[in-house]
Structure 1
Amino acid sequence: MSKVEQSIEVDVPVSTAYNQWTQFETFPQFMEGVERIEQRTDTLTHWVTEIAGVKREFDARITEQIPDERVAWTTVSGDVRQAGVVTFHRLEDARTKVMLQMDFDPAGVTENVGDRLGFVKHRTSGDLTRFKRFIESRGVADGSWRGSI
């Protein structure tokens, strides 16, 4: 099992960053390799990804969701094995630290080599940078889901 920990500071209030993160279907707009996400229930999402020519589909279950604090998940189907949490930390009224922690199990030779070379860490860093540009350019979230799990 491998681990990734990344964080970024965004110039929006914590509620804005959190609200946008709950809009899973917008992830393809800032996550490289994510083709589509469908929110099937309050706790179940279906992902379609293509990374380095390898297409994957899997379901992820939201295991914990606390408004303005955290969203945690784990995969429940498909050949992708990962679990993680994104936390939101108020730094100032209009500044938030977004922290991603993820455990994943690379499959096959290509993914194991890519993991050792730091590709996953680089990709998640890029995704967070794109999230920062995405939410700061709007200043408001596309929507929100304020329920707790």
Structure 2
Amino acid sequence: MPDKATGKSAGDAGGSGLDRVREELTKYLLTKANKVVSTAGDKMSKVAQGELPGELPKMGGKLLQGESPVKAVGGQVLKGVKDKAVEKTKELFGGGGKAGSKKVTNIIEVLDVGLPLRRVYDHWTEFEEFSSFMKGVVEASRSDDDDLESQWRLKVGPSKRSVKAEVLEQVPDERVVWKSSGETTTHGAVSFHELAPSLTRIVVVVEYTPGGFLEKTGSIWRVQGRRLRLDLKHFQRYVTLGAEEVPEGWRGEIREGELVRSHEDALADEESDEETDGNDEYDEYDEEGEYEEEGEEGEEDYNSEEER
């Protein structure tokens, strides 16, 4: 029956009421969806460590197109996380970020070698031989006109790098401090310590700045540290079992990046010291001989006096 006041039937009134409820429910759901989108966007932005500017309108558009709120929010949040990951990866692996340019790997290794201190040090200074037993050294050579510089061709994982090394300090039988420049940079020191007459400890400390994508990836897994550790063991095996000749070594001295005593001068000083030590022993023998002769003369004089 139609309503006398409105002229509408009860069915029409019921339909109008249902439409009103549906409209209010839709508004409520849209409000809740917007709140969910806003909250989820804020939280995921914090996880991604960055903002997602302009993404909320995109999510709202997808909602209006009939896409579920979860799918709309999830898609945009994942995109934000992906973009942030790409940005961080570029910074780490040389994409122009400051973090990538300052990434440094610190390496410390200790090795004991069953040989006298001087022999171990002299073997170390003959680094031109390293390529014959170390897998990480492809080639090494000392500069012809400068005792402070050397050229190295290194292998770390699948990559090879050419570097120029400069000695900052070198004291025979004590320590060597260097820095290198080129595709890969290092700043390191190796020191030698006598534990016993035939036992020497080597301590190596290196700051390694990788160059290139592969090396920076390898630094995450400490490939460089493992490579150095293995090469030190190769050095230990070589000097203990493989080296047949006693090395001459490089006996020069470097202080504050300046050559203060050449290899030739150091050898000459050592020979002079040995000769001085030999002469001192001879002089002591002569003095004893003279003392014995004086004693014999004294006995002859005493016997002469008795005969008289």
Fold similarity call, TM over 0.5: yes
Map of 1:100 onto structure 2: 204
More displaced, 25-34 or 86-95? 25-34
Asked whether 1:29 is paired with 2:127, we answer: no
Q: CA shift at 1:141, angstroms?
A: 4.0
Asked whether 1:145 is paired with 2:250, we answer: yes
Which of 165, 176, 181 is residue 60 of structure 1 equivalent to? 165
> Contact 1:135 / 1:141 at 8 angstroms: preserved in 2?
no
Map of 2:107 onto structure 1: 4
Q: Distance in 2 between matches of 1:50 and 1:145?
A: 25
Higher relative contact order (CA 8 A, sep 6+): 1
Residues 122-141 of structure 1 mapped to structure 2, 5 A cutoff: 122-137=226-241, 138=243, 141=246
More displaced, 49-58 or 114-123? 49-58
Runs of 4 or more consecutive aligned structure 1 residues displaced over 4 Å after TM superposition: none
Quote the sequence identity (%). 30
Change in Cα spacing, 1:67 to 1:140, as seen in structure 2 (3 Å) is farther
Q: Superposition RMSD on alpha carbons, in Å?
A: 1.5
Q: CA shift at 1:32, angstroms?
A: 1.5
TM-score by length of 1: 0.92
Q: CA shift at 1:79, angstroms?
A: 1.4
Map of 2:225 onto structure 1: 121
Map of 2:121 onto structure 1: 18
Amino acid at match of 2:116: P
Q: Distance in 1 between matches of 2:210 and 2:247?
A: 32
TM-score by length of 2: 0.46
Q: Distance in 2 between matches of 1:111 and 1:14?
A: 34
Structure with greater Cα Rg: 2
Residue 253 of structure 2 aligns to a residue in which SS?
A: coil
Structure with higher helix content: 2
